[in-house]
Amino acid sequence: MARNSHNNRANDPTGTRSMPDLFKRAPPELASPSRDSKQALLTENDRLRETVAEIVLQLDALWEKLDPADLQCRQEFEFRITTFHRDN
């Protein structure tokens, strides 16, 4: 088993063979998008941008509510936001 794993890595340095099929293949509409599906993706991107903008405003409001003297709370808040941003 380990030998096969090693051989797979040697033959495929990017490691894509070990990834689940879900990550290897794009849905057909993304592989060769039609004009309608391109527009749908643009619309979805716009909706997501609006959602992110709303979340940022909410986070700013929460930040303002934090006690400036509570350094630990502010550091925890910053850590969680940074970690979320990095992971997503």
Q: What is the pTM of this model?
A: 0.44
Category of 66 on φ-ψ map: left (φ > 0), alpha (ψ -120 to 50) or beta: beta
Token pair of 61, please?
Answer: 């409001």
> Would you place residue 34 in the very low, low, confident or very high pLDDT band (cuts 50, 70, 90)?
confident
Q: How far apart are CA 37 and CA 13, in angstroms?
A: 33
Q: Domain containing 19: what range? A: 2-87
Structural domains of the chain, count: 1
Category of 15 on φ-ψ map: left (φ > 0), alpha (ψ -120 to 50) or beta: left
How much is the pLDDT for 42?
A: 82
pLDDT tens sequence across 40-78: 888 888 999 999 899 888 988 888 888 888 888 888 888
